[in-house]
Amino acid sequence: MTDLYYRPLYCFLLQTIYRIQDLVTVDDVVEFLRCRGFGQYVAAFRRHKIDGDVVSNLSDAVLAELIPEIGPRVKLQKALQELKDNSDSAESSKPVHADWEIPRSSLTLGKVLGKGQFGEVRMGELRKRGVTQTVAVKTLKASAEDRDKEDLLGELEILVTVGRHDNIISLVGACTVEGPLALVVEYAPNGCLKDWLKDNRPEELDQTDDKNIATSGVQLPMDQLILFGIDIANGMSHLAAMQCVHRDLAARNVLLGKNLTAKISDFGLSRDIYEESEYVKSTKSQLPVRWIAYESLFYHTYTTQSDVWSFGVLLWEIMTMGKKPYGRMTGKDLMKLLPDGYRLEKPALCPQDIYDVMRCCWETLPENRPTFPDLKVTLDRIIQDYKTYASLLK
């Protein structure tokens, strides 16, 4: 009875005054895990006899075996890093990921590519072994809070875990010591998908109402638009395989590399499927309700299938060349209409089979939606059919 009564206070002390060297025995590690919400992994740590010496030097491979899911693993890495930060100054000056640490002297910052309330992204040049590489550098403003730094560190952990992929903006490295935190990622020379769509939108789409567009002779670069969808589905398939939920999939968060290859970016809100959702609490801007899945909007539940819903809205953005989903409708209006089955209407120049894909993504029950590998296969088939049809018209 006494132990149960004092456990909350004991856990509070564990979370506030522990340093990494205070974890000595296996029991110390186990108690720390329980108080930090990792109780389901205690058995694995006991089985492998993870004591203080071992836990302070856990390799990524061993940690992945102990905690297979990305989200909880990233959370524990952050918790352990906090313990190390509470140690002496020599310990706290160590890089978060030595293999990914970039010397600040080798990085030159250039023009601002984008900025928000608490951070900004700059173009940069990274010099390594006599070779200069153009990169994008994500930093925090002086007004940023501790939570913002934690989010950026979380994004670093996710990018390290996710690894490289052709359709994901990949990590180049990071500056985590001797100055403000900076995340260095690959540079996308063709900018944001949303901007590309708007810049390449035929004027007739803005000047003609939907009823007349179909007969106006306006043509869209359909093969390129479908390729965008294929690229994004491919990148999201990789994230899904890594059990990572993006939670903010939209045209604004897709960048275009060489040859207009679509690359998913902005993992600041990414979380693992198994991590409890704090999306509403952690964002400092309004919830992007136009892209959010039904269950996420009403029940704050996030899974890969929630990203599938957002992918359907992203496809709608692509097929309208960057128009705003739901037009002038307010978030309150949308929340009233979605439970009654209301969904985005078919864009005037969108092929029916592409719109059918969108509708499948907007099924109310997540389990009734296609997976990202399914979506890629479907879009691959559609583009082949489109190319065959286009060749017959020549």
Domain that holds residue 81: 2-92
Residue that finishes a domain, picked among 45, 71, 92? 92
**Whether residues 114 and 171 fall in one domain:** yes
**Whether residues 386 and 263 fall in one domain:** yes
- 99-108, 198-207, 222-231, 363-372: segment of lowest average pLDDT: 198-207
Q: Considering the chain, what percentage of its residues have pLDDT values greater than 70? A: 83
385 a catalytic residue: no
Q: Which one has a higher pLDDT value, 39 or 5?
A: 39
**Whether residues 118 and 265 fall in one domain:** no
Predicted TM-score of the model (pTM): 0.73
Q: Is the predicted pLDDT of residue 274 greater than 50, yes or no?
A: no
The winner for highest mean pLDDT among 27-41, 70-84, 231-245 is 231-245
- 34-38, 105-109, 201-205, 211-215: segment of lowest average pLDDT: 211-215
Q: Considering the chain, what percentage of its residues have pLDDT values greater than 90? A: 49
* Predicted confidence (pLDDT) per residue in 157-185, tens digit: 889 988 999 999 999 999 998 888 899 99
What's the confidence (pLDDT) of residue 278?
A: 29
- The CATH number of the domain holding residue 301 is 1.10.510.10
**Whether residues 115 and 201 fall in one domain:** no
**Whether residues 265 and 363 fall in one domain:** yes
**What total number of domains does the chain contain?**
3
What's the confidence (pLDDT) of residue 208?
A: 57
Q: Which two tokens stand for residue 247?
A: 């939670």
CA distance 105 to 187: 19
- The CATH number of the domain holding residue 15 is 1.10.150.50
Residue that finishes a domain, picked among 161, 186, 211? 186
**Whether residues 166 and 123 fall in one domain:** yes
Q: Is the predicted pLDDT of residue 215 greater than 80, yes or no?
A: no
**Average pLDDT value for residue range 124-143:** 90
Counts of helices then strands in the chain (DSSP H, E): 18, 9
The separation between CA 57 and the C-alpha centre of its own chain, rounded to angstroms, equals 28
CA distance 111 to 42: 48
**Whether residues 105 and 163 fall in one domain:** yes
Residue that finishes a domain, picked among 44, 75, 92? 92
Residue numbers in the known binding site are: 138
Residue 273 is given by DSSP the state T
**Whether residues 172 and 109 fall in one domain:** yes
CA distance 201 to 254: 17
Which of 148, 151, 248, 272 is catalytic? The answer is 248
CA distance 174 to 162: 15
Residue numbers in the known binding site for ATP are: 138
**Whether residues 225 and 335 fall in one domain:** yes
CA distance 323 to 35: 47
* Predicted confidence (pLDDT) per residue in 79-125, tens digit: 888 777 765 443 446 778 888 999 999 999 999 888 776 788 999 99
Q: What mean pLDDT, rounded, does the chain reach?
A: 83
142, 158 contact by CB (below 8 A): no
Helix ranges (DSSP H) in the chain: 2-17, 26-35, 42-47, 52-55, 60-66, 70-85, 89-92, 146-162, 193-199, 204-207, 210-213, 222-241, 279-282, 294-299, 304-319, 331-337, 352-361, 372-393
**Average pLDDT value for residue range 248-270:** 88
- The CATH number of the domain holding residue 125 is 3.30.200.20
Q: How confident is the model at residue 267 (pLDDT cuts 50, 70, 90)?
A: confident
Name the nearest CA neighbour of 308 among 375, 380, 211: 375
**Whether residues 237 and 383 fall in one domain:** yes
Q: Which two tokens stand for residue 269?
A: 């809100």
**Whether residues 106 and 135 fall in one domain:** yes
**Whether residues 364 and 306 fall in one domain:** yes
122, 113 contact by CB (below 8 A): yes
